[in-house]
Amino acid sequence: MKFIDLFAGIGGIKIGFENAGFRCVFSNDFDEYAKITYDLNFSEIFEADKQMVLGDIQKIPASKIPDFNILCGGFPCQPFSIAGYKQGFKDENGRGNLFFDIVRILKAKQPNAFLLENVKNLKTHDKGNTLRIILENLEKKLGYFVKVKVLNTMEYGNLPQNRERIYIVGFLDQKAYDKFSFPEKVKLTKTIHDCLEEKNVDEKYYYNDKPLYEVLKKEVKKRNTVYQWRRKYVRENKNNVCPTLTANMGMGGHNVPLVLSGIGIRKLTPRECANFQGFPKNYKLPDIADSHLYKQFGNSVSIPVIQRIAQNINNALTN
């Protein structure tokens, strides 16, 4: 079955769905740096001389999108995020209104199913009115049967990252809807050391010779713990997993989680952020500024969680 990947970023949803047996026929994002990373890793040509279609989805007619079975979209979460401005649909940059482009494409194409992903805060944003409007559009205006659940990566993806996200899954056929269920919890067997690069870490990631080191060394003392510098204090994550990776990591080193290695105190590398999101080892990182890479992985998805949901969607549609 075919799917399209809107707000595709660097292809996390694409990898999860392809691992579950689907085929991507269209991918779009407006971030030129995300396209660099995406194109480096995926060789499909969706249009003449293009891989990911770079551009504003608001300006792409549904008629220009090939037919597909499933729409996937991790639509921009900053307007609804605690870490963002929490403006929702009123976001001054128009990002909150991009949900209605999903509605536009669903109405025109009427695919069998969809998967939407966003921050947990979407569920309670504006006292629940934002989610209510979303569900009204999907259910009453478009006729989809919809299920919603918040899943934590550390509970559903066997990745040591505390990452709660809301997943919205819909089906045109009620029989498929009845057969679908979100995945069950799985035991967390991986530790942070499964995601850390223990050797050959560039010295630029270390704080040993930087002014902040004198403050950090008083608090960062455990090898099995991930820490955060919160501008004025050090926060210890006591559940022995990585805190939520965010797009804000690309806006300054203070947002990047910290660890203690045998050499000293350092921040996570972009590759380690990829590991905490479940990207495969052969996923390539382009030669662009770390700030862009941090933002990309913070904006991305936890691939094992996406893959498990995609497998259940596949089962619901094919059985």
- Indicate which residues carry an active-site annotation: 77
List the structure tokens of 284.
Answer: 């390539």
Number of neighbours of residue 24 by Cβ within 10 angstroms: 22
**Of 302, 297, 284, the residue nearest 39 (C-alpha):** 284
Question: Which three-class secondary structure state does DSSP give residue 86?
Answer: coil
- DSSP secondary structure string for all residues of 157-207: S--SB--EEEEEEEESSHHHHHH--PPPP------GGGTS--S---GGGB-
Residue 271 burial (C-beta neighbours within 10 Å; 0-12, 13-18, 19+): middle
CB 3 within 8 A of CB 24: yes
CB 114 within 8 A of CB 72: yes
